[in-house]
Amino acid sequence: MKSIKHKLIRNFLIVIFSTIIILDGLLAIFVKKYYYDNTEAMLINQIDIASNFYDRYYSTTSLISNIYDNVDAFWNQSTAQVQIFDKSGKLIMDSIAAHNNKSVYEVAVQDALKGVTSRWVGNVDYCPYKVMAVTKPLIANGNIIGVIRFTTSLQDIDKGINSIISFFIIVSTAVLIIGITLSLVMAKKIVDPILKLEDTAKKIASGDLNQKSNVESDDEIGQLANTIDFMAEEIKEREKMKDDFISSVSHELRTPLTAIKGWVITLKDENTDKETLDLGFSIIEKETDRLSSMVEELLDFSRLTGGKIALRNTIVNLNDFANHIDAYMRPRANREMIIFNLDNKVGNLNINMDIDRMKQVLINILDNAFKFTEPNGCVNLIFDQDDKNVFIKVKDNGCGIPEEELPRVKEKFYKGSNAKSNAGIGLSIADEIVKLHGGECEIESTYLEGTEVTIKLPKIMEEISI
């Protein structure tokens, strides 16, 4: 497996090397163009001087005669090879009498006879180095009377260009070495915190939740370090919540089991009278129901966590549903001396939902409301609606929820500080069931004043299951 450090160094070097190659290439092209253009300009200038001299002093005589009589007038101001061509393109003078391949100059001469100045760079048989030739029309009295061609060796020019390019290569090599060094330093600076985070993450994964990344940075790596630290704290807290949950559930399971066991021992006594038997059987039945309810709640929690709950939706009349909940909770309200009010503002509205699951949700929320409301307190169950949603509200004037606990009351395993708080999964289950219906469960509370739980359900809901 390639490490991120090697990848970073490789990518840095690719960028540096590519940049150097491109810059060196462009510099070589520009330098060569600059020197070649200057050489061309020099040759053109020399041709212009010779042409102007000829036009001023020798234009009254034919070109052939002047070649024979004043041949040095064309090259005495230049060290370049000078060639003169007549109007037919025939070579009539060569300052060095070199043997030339006609194809080298034929096209350029024909273009010059049409008034076009041209430059040619290449190799010739009589010179071991590259040469540059500039071909230009020879004009006298405003007429083209022939062609003049200056050719010069590029030996010194190419040597100078090669020296500059060599200097560029040396500088580029130094830059590359510096780039490699900086790449190693930068890669180490980037990778070391990542390796440190990797080590911290492995220790956290092995169960050491007290580990801290200790990476101080304002960039993304610093944010990742903070996230890992936060994750470790969250896992640690959730582990504690889970342990508290297990302890709480164990205690809640032990209580009815202790009662059942105690009454079983009592009922085994042959001297137990009928009244005591009836009381014992009644308590055993209630405690068994309580155990069954707790086990069912745990199973629901397990199913929700594992994504194995499917809704069985039917068309439900909310008036019948509200009356059923009222009839179910009314005896408890009377027994605990709590004022229980039902306010149905939706009438006989029908809605698509799983009636058993929604009963479970409402009974759970009402159970909490009753539990945390003192005698003579008030619990209101309100059914309301707007154009798209149905709202089921449970509002009490009980002890309320502390502000710091409110954001977490729906979390799995969370158990509030109130002594009456249960195992910490009831609201979590209710919230998940509401979400399965495509709805939302919102809780608002003011400590020591009361709590309001609002269930929002869509009027039109597609079948949802997980």
Q: Are 136 and 51 in contact (CB under 8 A)?
A: yes
Q: Are 321 and 301 in contact (CB under 8 A)?
A: no
Cβ within 8 Å of residue 272, ≥6 positions away: 266, 280
pLDDT attached to residue 416: 62
CA 450 – CA 448 distance, rounded (Å) = 6
From residue 75, alpha-carbon distances to 43, 80, 185 in Å are: 12, 7, 63
For residue 247, list its beta bridge partners: none
pLDDT band at 159 (very low <50, low <70, confident <90, very high): very high
pTM: 0.48
CA 331 – CA 326 distance, rounded (Å) = 9
pLDDT attached to residue 418: 58
Lowest mean pLDDT among 56-70, 179-193, 443-457: 56-70
Task: Name which residue leads in pLDDT, 54 or 459.
Answer: 459
pLDDT attached to residue 463: 39
Report the chain's terminal Cα–Cα distance, integer Å: 39
Q: What does the pLDDT look like over 263-284, one tens digit per residue?
A: 777 777 777 777 877 787 888 8
pLDDT band at 454 (very low <50, low <70, confident <90, very high): very high
The residue-averaged pLDDT of 12-27 equals 88
Q: Is 285 exposed, middle or buried (0-12, 13-18, 19+ CB in 10 A)?
A: exposed
CA 167 – CA 113 distance, rounded (Å) = 43
For residue 316, list its beta bridge partners: 351
119-125 own/partner pairs: CB under 8 Å, 24+ apart: 119/40, 121/36, 121/154, 124/98, 124/100, 124/151, 125/99, 125/100, 125/101
| In this structure, CATH architecture of domain 220-306 | Orthogonal Bundle (1.10)
Task: Name which residue leads in pLDDT, 205 or 433.
Answer: 433
Q: What does the pLDDT look like over 359-418, one tens digit per residue?
A: 888 988 998 899 889 999 999 999 999 988 999 999 999 888 888 888 888 776 666 655
pLDDT band at 249 (very low <50, low <70, confident <90, very high): low
- φ/ψ of 445, rounded to 5, equals -155, 145
Would you say the C-alpha torsion 214, 215, 217, 219 has a positive or negative sign?
A: negative
How do strand 440-446 and strand 378-385 relate by DSSP bridges? unpaired
* Residue-range domain boundaries for the chain: 4-161, 220-306, 314-458
Residue 329, H or E segment:
helix 318-335
Is 50 exceeded by the pLDDT of residue 419? no
The residue-averaged pLDDT of 51-60 equals 76
The residue-averaged pLDDT of 19-38 equals 91
Any alpha helices (H) in 125-219, and if so which ranges? 155-205
Is 90 exceeded by the pLDDT of residue 126? no
pLDDT band at 75 (very low <50, low <70, confident <90, very high): low
Tokens 């006298």 locate to 140
From residue 219, alpha-carbon distances to 7, 193, 216, 421 in Å are: 20, 11, 9, 43
Q: Do domains 4-161 and 314-458 have the same CATH topology?
A: no
pLDDT band at 141 (very low <50, low <70, confident <90, very high): confident
**Percentage of the residues of the chain whose pLDDT score is greater than 90:** 24
Q: What does the pLDDT look like over 328-344, one tens digit per residue?
A: 899 999 999 999 999 99
Domain 314-458: what homologous superfamily? Histidine kinase-like ATPase, C-terminal domain (3.30.565.10)
Is 50 exceeded by the pLDDT of residue 61? yes
Residue 238, H or E segment:
helix 220-267
What mean pLDDT is reported for the chain?
Answer: 82
Query: What CATH number has the domain spanning 4-161?
Result: 3.30.450.20
